[in-house]
Structure formats: structure tokens, C-alpha cells
Amino acid sequence: METVVFVGAGSMAEAVIAGIVEQGAIEPHNVYVMNKSDDERLFSLQQKYGISIVCKERKIMRTADLIVLATKPKDIHQVMADIHPLLSDDAAILSVIAGVSIATMEEGLGKRPIARSMPNTSATIGKSATGVAMNSTVDETMRQHVLRLLGAIGLVKEVEEDDLHTVTALSGSGPAYVYYLAEALEEAATSKGLSPDVARSLIIQTLEGAAAMLKQTGIEPAELRENVTSPNGTTAAGLQALEERSFKAIIGECIEKAAARSRELGAQS
């Protein structure tokens, strides 16, 4: 993959750029970025990652191998109308936009290789959990390129396109749920008198340790939970409070609502 152009220069574009540049997946000067209006933002990304900026004539779009769509879902039609006339027939598309279907992109950009992905912001440090679906125009070489690029920002799983709504709800939005949990734990701990510094360190290590236990032992989450839970002990008392407030039902509703919103964003675009 010679040249990659990011259309959209927001937080997700930056997370992916940071990941692929810092993991050495592509030469930084072969990465181009453009946005709607904020030149300062482009200069700052250029300075920070050594990448290139798409100039006013946008000539690079004609020779770009891969276009990464990283705008908000509501802007997709404007973006496609803007860039379609500039693209070569061979240019492939990688979208990170929530909800917007491959069919919508084929309508706006013509039948060409299109991969629709859902990374998350942990791409910034090479730890994204990404789902991706590709259209039938993607050949094996392109498929490997896309998997390599997304692999540079973390774990990548190929899924059916329709499952991307669930992936979006689960791992696309997922970091926010974990940060919310961290906020709640910290507020509870400091209200009991623990210093914010100590609470923060213990929470981070607890999250990291639990994730590593899940990953390294391969033991079921329920069994790991049971291992922590002494009969009539502190964990049992804590878990009882979560059960009384229907913790699993709340999480179920959270995923349901987020996935439904992903479908809505797609339908509105």
C-alpha cells in the first residue's frame, strides 16, 4: 500500500494515524490527511506524526491507493460527492464510520474494494479491538493489506457486515464504558477517604490485571469471578449489590441501545 489518504482529521483519524505510524506499518510521509476547514489541526497532525497534508488541489487523491473515511456519519454523502470525482478506478476505501453500510458507500463511490471497519480509540497505543467486513470486490491482496493496516493498531476480527452494529456497541464504544466504570470506582473510593492518586493506581492495575488474567489463563469470566468470591465474604456482598440493581440487564440494555443507534446512524445517512 503506497499512499493512504485520511478524509477527516478528528480523534478517530488521529488514533488510527498514531497507531499505523508508530507501529511502522507505513512510511509517515505516505500518509495524507485532509478535513473540512481546520488547517491548524492538519498542521498539528503533520508536526506530531511527520505525515503529509492534502493541498488545495487535492492531486494526491488521483493516485491514492487507499482512502480512509473518518468523518461523522452525517457528513458521508457530502464527503462522497466531494471525493468521488477525484478518485482513480483502482482506489480502495477503508471506512471507520459508525453505521454507514458498504452499500451506501458503493452507491456514492462506485463499485470498488471497500472495507468497513469499527476500531476504537485504543488504536492510539496499538491496542484497538477492531471489527471489519469487506465487499466482494476486495481481492486477497487488498484483504491482507487491510488486515495488516488494522493489525498495526491492535486486534482485528473479520465479521459479517450486519454484526458491525454489535461490534460498534461492544468494542467501538466499549472504552467509554470502561472509563465510566473507572470514574465510578474512583468516586466511590475517594468518598471513602482513599487519596485520588492511590485510588487511580489501584483501579488501573485492577483493570489491567483482570484483563490479563482473562487473556493469559483462558479461564471463563464466571470461573475467575467465582475464584475471587469467598463464601459470605466481601466480594459476595459487593456482587449482591450489583445483582440487586440488575447489573447484567443494565449492560444488556447498554449494548442494545448502542447497537440500535448504530443502525439509526446508518439509516439516516
Ligand X SMILES: NC(=O)C1=CN([C@@H]2O[C@H](COP(=O)(O)OP(=O)(O)OC[C@H]3O[C@@H](n4cnc5c(N)ncnc54)[C@H](O)[C@@H]3O)[C@@H](O)[C@H]2O)C=CC1
61-80 residues in contact with ligand X (CB under 6 A) are 70-73, 75, 78-79
- Closest contact distance (angstroms) between CB of 187 and ligand X is 23
Nearer to ligand A1CAB, 12 or 33 (CB): 12
93 lies in the binding site for ligand X (CB under 6 A): no
Q: Are 37 and 8 in contact (CB under 8 A)?
A: no
Print burial letters for 194-205: b (CB count within 10 Å at least 16), e (below 16): eeeeebbeebee
Q: Are 45 and 29 in contact (CB under 8 A)?
A: no
36 lies in the binding site for ligand X (CB under 6 A): yes
CA-closest candidate to residue 239, choices 102, 46, 230: 230
Task: Please give the C-alpha separations between residue 245 and each of 238, 241, 257, in angstroms, as whole numbers.
Answer: 11, 6, 18
152-191 residues in contact with ligand X (CB under 6 A) are 172
Contact residues: ligand A1CAB, CB under 6 A: 98, 168, 172-173
Q: Are 167 and 118 in contact (CB under 8 A)?
A: yes
Q: How many residues bind ligand X (CB under 6 A)?
A: 27
Nearer to ligand A1CAB, 52 or 173 (CB): 173
Provide the Cα torsion 105, 89, 113, 261; round to 10°: -10
CA distance 64 to 53: 13
7 lies in the binding site for ligand X (CB under 6 A): yes
- Closest contact distance (angstroms) between CB of 253 and ligand A1CAB is 17
- Closest contact distance (angstroms) between CB of 196 and ligand X is 25
- Closest contact distance (angstroms) between CB of 11 and ligand A1CAB is 9
Nearer to ligand A1CAB, 173 or 269 (CB): 173
Q: Are 117 and 95 in contact (CB under 8 A)?
A: yes
Count CB atoms within 10 A of the CB of residue 148.
14
18 lies in the binding site for ligand X (CB under 6 A): no
- Closest contact distance (angstroms) between CB of 173 and ligand A1CAB is 5
Residue nearest to ligand A1CAB according to CB distances in the complex: 172
CA distance 113 to 143: 9
118 lies in the binding site for ligand X (CB under 6 A): yes
Nearer to ligand A1CAB, 149 or 170 (CB): 170
The beta strand positions in the chain, using DSSP E, are 4-7, 31-34, 52-53, 66-69, 92-95, 114-118, 128-134, 154-158
- Closest contact distance (angstroms) between CB of 225 and ligand X is 28
Which residues of the shown chain bind ligand X in the complex (CB under 6 A)?
Answer: 7-13, 34-36, 38, 70-73, 75, 78-79, 82, 96-98, 118-121, 172
